[in-house]
Amino acid sequence: MLSQTVQDAINTQIHHEFYSSYLYLSMSAYCDSINLGGFAKWLRVQNGEEGEHAIKLFNYVTSRGGKVVLQALEQPPVEFGKPLEIFTAVLEHEKKITASITKLYEVAVKEADYPTQFMLQWFITEQVEEEKNAMDILEQLKMVGDAPVSLMMMDRALGMRARK
């Protein structure tokens, strides 16, 4: 059974994961609106993954006899600028999520909740991958700048992203 402290911390993380999903969906809609369908698809896949993360935590809470308490989501931004600005925001957001997962892990350690610590190892590994993916795309965008042909090539490449 989960302690109230761990349960509350996981419920907060569920909120963060659902907001991440919502944010990436908004970014995807924006990319569609500026004719960057490949960027939009990459962000929609990311949206789906973040939703899956929330559900993974949701299921964990219920499997441990806890209660999921969903919190209201704030509206994400609707304008994001150029692709470089979008992926700068993606990387910064992923860093915030990493910090949040780390804080959740620290709560599990303090509460001596070993099953939760074990479960969170998956999320910690996932966040390393999430930050690397965002960083790689951001670095590529820095290299190509605003060159239309290069952005079109990146758009095509990002559009081929499939779910894991």
pLDDT digits (tens, 9 = 90+) for 24-50: 999 999 999 999 999 999 999 999 999
Answer yes or no: is pLDDT of 162 > 90: no
Structure pTM? Answer: 0.95
Task: Kindly report the CATH number assigned to the domain that includes residue 94.
Answer: 1.20.1260.10
> Is 12 part of a structural domain of the chain?
yes
> Is 164 part of a structural domain of the chain?
no
Burial environment of residue 154 by CB neighbours within 10 A (0 to 12, 13 to 18, 19 or more): buried
What radius of gyration do the chain's Cα atoms show?
A: 17
> Is 145 part of a structural domain of the chain?
yes
Q: How many CB atoms lie within 10 A of CB 148?
A: 8
Q: Which residue has the tokens 């509460």?
A: 111
> Is 163 part of a structural domain of the chain?
no
Q: How confident is the model at residue 65 (pLDDT cuts 50, 70, 90)?
A: very high
> Is 58 part of a structural domain of the chain?
yes
Q: Which residue has the tokens 């995807």?
A: 28
DSSP-derived letter for residue 127 is H
Q: Which residue has the tokens 């109230």?
A: 4
Q: How confident is the model at residue 164 (pLDDT cuts 50, 70, 90)?
A: low
| Planar angle of CA 164, 157, 35, nearest 5 degrees | 110
Q: What is the mean pLDDT of residues 38-67?
A: 98
The predicted pLDDT at position 163 comes to 64
What's the structural domain count of the chain? 1
Domain range enclosing 91: 4-158
> Is 132 part of a structural domain of the chain?
yes
The predicted pLDDT at position 146 comes to 87
Q: Sign of torsion, CA 30 32 37 42?
A: positive
pLDDT digits (tens, 9 = 90+) for 83-110: 999 999 999 999 999 999 999 999 999 9
Q: How many CB atoms lie within 10 A of CB 118?
A: 10
> Which amino acid would we find at residue 48?
G
